[in-house]
Each structure stands twice: as C-alpha cells, then as structure tokens.
Homo-oligomer: A and B are copies of this chain.
Amino acid sequence: MVRLGLIGCGRIGRVHADSITVHPRAELARVVDPFESSAREVGEKFAAPWSTDVEAVIDDPAIDAVVVASPTPTHVDLLIRAVRTGKAVLCEKPIDLDIARVDACSAEIGALTDRVMLGFNRRFDPSFADIRSRVEAGEIGTLEQLTIISRDPAPPPATYVATSGGLFRDMTIHDFDMARFFLGDVVEVSASGANLVSSEIAEAGDIDTAVVVLRGAGGALCSITNSRRAAFGYDQRLEAFGARGMLTAGNQLPTSVRFSGADSTEVAPPYHNFFLDRYTPAYRAELDAFVTGVEPGSTFSPGFADGRAALVLADAANESLRTGASVKVGP
C-alpha cells in the first residue's frame, strides 16, 4: 500500500481523495487544508485524519507521497519541501505562473525533479490515451496534423481570472501539454485571440477566445481552438490526422438515449458539463499512474519538465498574441 497525504481540500482535492479511496493499493493517510471546515469535511467524508497544518503531511515519515492540490502560488514551496523529505509529489498544474520561479525551483532541487509528477489529467483520458497509443503504434502513419478543440462550459468568476495567469497559462496549458503528448517538442507558436464572451475578462486584460497554431519538431502542425464558454457543455475533442488515416475522439454523452420527433431526430442530451464529470476516469487513471510511479523502479510521466515545457508554450503564445508574429521556441 502507498500512503498518501492530500494538501488542499477544494474541488480538485476532493476528486483526488475519491480516487485514492477507491484505489486498491493506495491509502488516504491524511488530508490538510488551512480552512478547517474544508479539511474536516473531506476528512470525515473519506474517513481520513485531517488537520489545518501542512506540516502534518510534510513531516510525517509514514506518508510516502503527497498530492499537491492547493492554490498555484503555493505549489513550488510545497513541492520543494515534500521532495526533500523523500516523498513523491503529484502536483496540480501549473507548477507556477512564473517561468523564472519554475526554473529556480528546478535549480534548487536538481535531480529530485524526478520525484514529481504533473497533474495533466487529460493524458489519462481513455479516449485520448487510446489515440496516442495507436498513433505511436503507427496506425495512421506519420502524424501530420493534430486538431484540438477545447472549450469550457462557462467563464470562471472575475476574481479567478485576475489571478489565473490568463487563458494560455490557466486553460490552454492543458492543450499545450496534449500537443506535446502527441508531437513531442514544439518549435514554433502562433497565437490569435479575441474578446467575445465576457466583458469582465476583457476588463481584466485577458482574452476569452483563441486559436493557437503549433509546429512540432518533426514538422507536424497542431491547432488549438479555445473558448471560455460553450452553451452545450464541456467541449473536449481531439483529432490526429496522418498519412494513412485519422483518429478522432468526440464529446461524450451521459447516456446513449436519442429522441426523434416531428421537428428533429437523433437528439442527444447535453454533453458532460465540466471536468469532474468528463474526466472522472482520467483522474482515476492518473492517480493509478502516480501510485504505480511511487513503487520502486518506476518513473513519473508527465514529469516536472513537461510542466515547465507547457508553461514555455503559454508564454510564447502570449508573446505571439502581443507581437502578431510567430514565436520560435528553443529546445
């Protein structure tokens, strides 16, 4: 059994608590959150000891691994402290909004970055992972174009936008990682953005609509289409096009029911509303990969370097947005 401590009992922390609880080789050893009510609620719900004090996890030698699900500004500090006590860390994305701080963290812990897994949950989505495996196996020949459509159901609250780091570092970062999952290194970024959804987002100086084009080191092109709002639910699609064919993953429906009537046919229900519903199996598979990675002789993927690389692409997209020109990205 792998004994896990959970830091952060918000929405995403609860998802991890649930995944840990149902995992056959994992045990939820302790949950912490500075808000006592959150810590208590999650602790009681999942029958785990709880406290408001992060040291209760960091300093507990019986805890093997830590899930860092606290606010982004705390990630680097907690990550450093945890790996220094010998613990493995599953860190929610992004590592930090500031690439300089990410690089300082890397310099500080050196080889211990190997002990960090990044929470890019979509790599573990059964449909996306299946496409990735089949592309790797050569089913569509050389990958030439990757098309990612990624739209949230509704914009976040204005207060969140202010500290989110902007669309590219907050939301598109998942898509940048997905692009790297398929293309490997990305060498060029060209971004277009617009304000079409929310005046609050515009007032906060951010965009809410974007198309980003990436070029992989191997020559493949990738387009990412984003919006902060989709009337029909969480829009999460991917299409890998190659010399010998195409693999697509469409949106997913809660049931297989279709209605046909006088005005329309084959009517399906709305898509899953958001990531908690859409990516439940992905979060479970991600936690499984983390637990497996903690076990001797294993490594973590995606790792610290993947977290850094996605942030580099987000920064390049911001630069391209500002300059109107494509931005080369170094190795």
Give the B-binding residues of A (Cβ under 8 A): 22, 126-127, 130-131, 134, 139-142, 144-145, 147, 149, 151, 188, 190, 192, 194-197, 209-211, 213, 215, 219-221, 223, 225, 227, 229-233, 235, 241, 243-271, 323-326
Q: A145-B227, A232-B265, A325-B325 are in contact. Are A259 and B241 (CB under 8 A)?
A: no
Give A223 to B214 CA distance when docked, in angstroms: 13
By the criterion CB–CB under 8 Å, are A126 and B227 in contact? no
Please provide the 9 A-B residue pairs with the shortest distance between their CB atoms, ordered closest to farther. Answer: A245-B261, A232-B260, A325-B325, A127-B255, A266-B268, A324-B326, A144-B196, A265-B268, A250-B256
Do A255 and B261 touch across chains, with their CB atoms under 8 A apart? no
Least CB distance from A270 to B in Å reads: 6
Give every chain B residue within 8 A of A140 (Cβ-Cβ).
231, 259, 261
For residue A260, which residue of chain B has the nearest CB? B232
Apart from A144-B196, A147-B149, 19 more pairs, CB < 8 Å = A127-B255, A130-B257, A144-B227, A145-B209, A190-B213, A190-B326, A194-B220, A211-B213, A213-B213, A231-B244, A231-B245, A232-B265, A244-B261, A246-B259, A249-B257, A263-B270, A265-B270, A267-B267, A323-B325
Q: Is the CB of A264 within 8 A of B267?
A: yes
Of B211, B231, B249, the contact of A223 (CB 8 Å cutoff): B211
Beta-carbon contact of B127 and A262 below 8 Å: no
Q: Is the CB of A194 within 8 A of B215?
A: yes
Q: Given the complex, which residues of B lie within 8 Å of A223, measured CB to CB? A: 211, 213, 223, 225
Asked whether, in the complex, the Cβ of B251 is within 8 Å of the Cβ of A265, the reply is yes
Tell me, rounded to whole Å, the shortest Cβ–Cβ distance linking A64 to chain B: 20
**Once bound together, how far apart are the Cα atoms of A261 and B151, in whole Å?**
14
Q: List 13 A-B contacts (CB under 8 A).
A: A130-B255, A140-B231, A140-B259, A144-B197, A145-B211, A188-B192, A194-B221, A229-B243, A231-B261, A233-B265, A247-B257, A250-B256, A265-B268
Inter-chain contacts of A22 with B (CB < 8 A): 22
Set of chain B residues within 8 Å of A144, measured between Cβ atoms: 194, 196-197, 209, 227
Q: What chain B residues lie within 8 Å of A266 (beta carbons)? A: 266-268
Q: Which residue of B lies closest to A236 (CB)?
A: B256
Q: Which of B190, B232, B250, B262 contacts A261 (CB 8 A)?
A: B232
Q: What's the nearest-Cβ distance from chain B to residue A217, in Å?
A: 12
What is the bound-complex CA distance between A209 and B142, given in angstroms?
A: 13
